[in-house]
Amino acid sequence: MEFFERFAIPHPSPLIYASMVAIGLVSIAIIVGITYFKKWGYLWNEWLTTVDHKKIGIMYIISALLMLFRGGADAIMMRLQTAVPENSFLDAQHYNEVFTTHGVVMIMFMAMPFIIGLMNFIVPLQIGARDVAFPRLNAISFWLFFFGAMLFNLSFVVGGSPDAGWTNYYPLASNEFSPSVGVNYYNWALQISGIGTLMTGINFIATILKMRAPGMKLMKMPMFTWASLLTNVIIVFAFPVLTIALVMGTFDRQFGTHFFTSMNGGMDMMWANLFWVWGHPEVYILILPAFGIYSEIISTFSQRNLYGYKSMVWSMVLISLFSFTVWLHHFFTMGQNAFTNSIFSITTIAIAIPTGIKIFNWLLTMRKGKIRFTVPMLYSIAFIPLFTIGGATGVMLGMASADYQYHNTMFLVAHFHNVIIPGVVFAVLAGFTYWWPKMFGFMLNEKIGKWAFWFLSIGFCLAFFPMYITGLNGQARRMYTYSEATGFGPLNLLSFFGAGLMAIAFVLIVYNVYYSFRHSPRNVGDDPWNARSLEWATHNPVPEYNFAVAPEVKSSEALWDQKKHGHKLFNKEYEEIHMPNKSGVPFIMGVLFFIFGFSFIFAIWLGVILSAIGIFACMIYRTFEQDHGFHISVKEIKETEEKFGGADK
């Protein structure tokens, strides 16, 4: 029995037991359901073993939506707890766990995969490629992310959740102050999914640099592709820092080293330093693709070409470089001298310049445009003022001396939600709606989508603007409760109300998927939005091979050229198409990494050794495997194209 005691929850409550039951029931329901409908074969052949970038993209997005609700439940619990003074819905420990998992889940397992999912689906289509550079690696990336996310969520019911904040600062995260295995979960879940993300980064840089359609020079790439390229550059150079920081944290907690302790030469603030060397670029990993999505949508629905293409590109290049030079602003109050703080204050505020350029470019794109107020466009229009407010408060926080006032207050919480929600969440929802017909061949209902948009935007303002005020009045972040005398009560109640509206919006979005699946017409054509870039030049939904013949491009708006300027995209005859084979190895490796992480968390060394051997066995299998893929014959291509009604291409 002693062996099993380590898996017990150190601090149980009825809520946790209820979620154990819920997780159990849902798992059983899924297994029974799949067995009943005899879908195991379909699931394995079509999804778990796929190396198709489109299916991997969809799996990323589904996982991200699931995690959105997981993290959203945390958010509602936090707002409920702080809705009234001295509430006792959650105790201090649970509140700590909830804000920790909310942060990690939303950043690492919701926003990132949502964006990587869209990238997976769209980027190869936008550049006219058949797939990514390394399809098998892409599948491994996904499964590492997925099993990392599952590992993290397991902490809730096995062993206890991490409770030291998503920033996981030491000494709070050390064994002494976080004695449960929670922080071990944090270390390994992030490590495993982080390795997956790093491989995605390498994969997409190679794809974008080497696999573009003929004629598509770098400065003729669609803006979302540019944004993705630079995002992946940041990923490749930022994630190794996290890898090392997590290794050091793991060593401290599990092998008794003195990196982040306060004795024998340890230095707890070094964690904060390394964490933010990764963590600040991470913010730009989230926002740059969002900028790309907005650029596509604003240009499409203003029915004008994007204003200032070159300045858009260069501002993103600058942002990608600057993003590595500002990390210290997350701990201005740590105790550096004024000179050091000033340097990082200047670099921080300097980032506002390229970002400002982009804002003006979007506004000038809309100027004199014939704007169509579709759901994606509504999100994009709302993004501009809301994000500007978030950016301006960011500049306030970036001034080192003033930051002593704002540091660790609700003002900061309001600021970063103000950039992340209108910046990233609106963007992925806009992109989700915009590219939905590309993925599934029908449109999402506009009316329900607009309702969701209004609920989300108004809910957002109500939920987060009050925090600016309570923050300036001195409400600290991460405090599980406050006394009535502080006067924070009414504004926090308003916040809770806003959070409720946002929750309704997300339910509406899911309902919209269901409703549109049932009722939307299926004959929307290849180009339902009258769009401009290459991904709309193939069919909806996209055939397995993307493009029957490689398109030839002469500007960043290849489809527009074809529609308005008589440019001919497809000039070649059909040829045999080479495709990669599917493989079960990536999924198996994901499972093995899951076992590896889980065993390491609980220091079950036999499991660690066996799963590590398994992982190496997979790699050896791969290197000896002779897999040359398969070919789709010209006849098959013709049949598929005729089925889609596009044989003329």
Partner 1 sequence: MKLDHSQPLEYSTDQNRLNILGFWIFLGAEIMLFATLFTSYFVYEDRIGSGPSGADIFEITPVLIETIILLTSSFTIGLAIHAMRINRTKAMTVFLGITLLLGAAFLATEIYEFNHYYHIGATLQTSGFTGILLTTLGTHGAHVTLGLFWGAMILIQIMKRGLTPQIANKSFIFSLYWHFLDVVWIFIFSFIYLKGMM
Partner 2 sequence: MKELFPMKQVNGFIFSMLLTVIALSVYFLDMSYSVALTILLVTAFIQAGVQLVLFMHAGESEDKTSIYTTTFYALSIALFTVFGSLLAMIWGYMF
b/e string for 25-49 if b means 16 or more Cβ within 10 A? eeeeeeeeeeeeeeeeeeeeeebbb
From residue 252 to residue 271, the character string flagging contacts with partner 1 as x (rule: CB under 8 A) and all else as - is ---xxxxx---xxxxx--x-
Q: SS3 letters for 500-515?
A: HHHHHHHHHHHHHHHH
Give the one residue of 9, 20, 34, 343 binding partner 2; rule: CB under 8 A. Answer: 343
What is the closest distance, in whole angstroms, from the C-beta atom of residue 219 to partner 2 in the complex? 14
Q: How far apart are CA 343 and CA 221, in angstroms?
A: 35
What would the two tokens of residue 235 be? 């990923």
Indicate which single residue of 95, 291, 327, 464 sits in contact with partner 2 (rule: CB under 8 A).
327
Q: Looking at beta carbons only, is 233 or 501 nearer to partner 2?
A: 233
Amino acid identity at 9: I
Which among partner 2, partner 1, none contacts residue 337 (Cβ within 5 to 8 A by kind)?
partner 2
Site residues for partner 1, window 190-249 (CB under 8 A)? 198, 201-203, 205-206, 209-211, 236-241, 243-245, 247-248
Residues touching partner 2: how many (CB under 8 A)? 25
Report the first-to-last Cα separation within the chain, whole angstroms.
68
The answer to whether residue 229 forms part of the interface with partner 2 (CB under 8 A) is no
259 binds, among partner 1, partner 2, none (CB under 5 to 8 A by kind): partner 1
CB 67 within 8 A of CB 149: yes
In 3-state terms, what secondary structure has residue 52? coil
Among 334, 392, 510, 617, interactor with partner 2 by CB under 8 A: 334
The SS3 assignment for 282 reads helix
In whole angstroms, give the CA distance from residue 81 to residue 88.
7
Cβ 371 to partner 1, closest distance in Å? 40
Indicate whether 269 belongs to the interface with partner 2 (CB under 8 A).
Answer: yes
CB of 259 to partner 1, least distance (A): 6
Query: Greatest CA span in the chain, whole angstroms?
Result: 78
Segment near partner 2 (CB under 8 A), from 187-195, 338-346, 442-450, 501-509?
A: 338-346
Nearer to partner 2, 317 or 524 (CB): 317
Outline where DSSP puts E strands in 65-199.
Answer: none
Residue 456 CB, shortest distance to partner 1, in Å, is 36
Sites for partner 1 among residues 621-640 (CB under 8 A):
623-624, 628
203 binds, among partner 1, partner 2, none (CB under 5 to 8 A by kind): partner 1
- Name 90's Cβ contacts closer than 8 Å, sequence gap at least 6: 77, 78, 81, 98, 480
Smaller CB separation from partner 2, 335 or 521: 335
Residue 277 found at the interface with partner 1 (CB under 8 A): yes
Neighbours of 82 (CB within 10 A): 25
Tokens of 31: 């297994």
The answer to whether residue 340 forms part of the interface with partner 2 (CB under 8 A) is yes
The distance of closest approach from Cβ of residue 322 to partner 1 in the complex, given in angstroms and rounded to an integer, is: 17
- Residue 575 Cβ, how far from partner 1 at the closest point, in Å? 11
Give the shortest CB-343-to-partner 2 separation in angstroms. Answer: 7
Neighbours of 581 (CB within 10 A): 13
**Selected binder of partner 2 within 324, 454, 465, 515 (CB under 8 A):** 324
Q: Cβ of residue 218: shortest distance to partner 2, in angstroms?
A: 10
What is the per-residue DSSP string for 473-533?
TTPBTT-S---GGG--HHHHHHHHHHHHHHHHHHHHHHHHHHHHHHHS-S---S-TT---S
Count of residues that interact with partner 1, criterion CB under 8 A: 43
The conformation of residue 409, written as its DSSP 8-state character, comes to B
Q: How far is CA 640 from CA 282, 422, 545, 593, 649, in A?
A: 41, 40, 10, 39, 12
Report if residue 219 touches partner 2, rule: CB under 8 A: no
Contact 144, 595 (CB under 8 A): no
Q: How far is CA 545 from CA 120, 123, 581, in A?
A: 14, 14, 13
Residues interacting with partner 2, by CB under 8 A?
209-210, 233, 237, 241, 267, 269-270, 273-274, 277, 321, 324-325, 327-328, 334-337, 339-341, 343-344
Residues interacting with partner 1, by CB under 8 A?
133-134, 198, 201-203, 205-206, 209-211, 236-241, 243-245, 247-248, 251, 255-259, 263-267, 270, 273-274, 277, 578, 616, 620, 623-624, 628
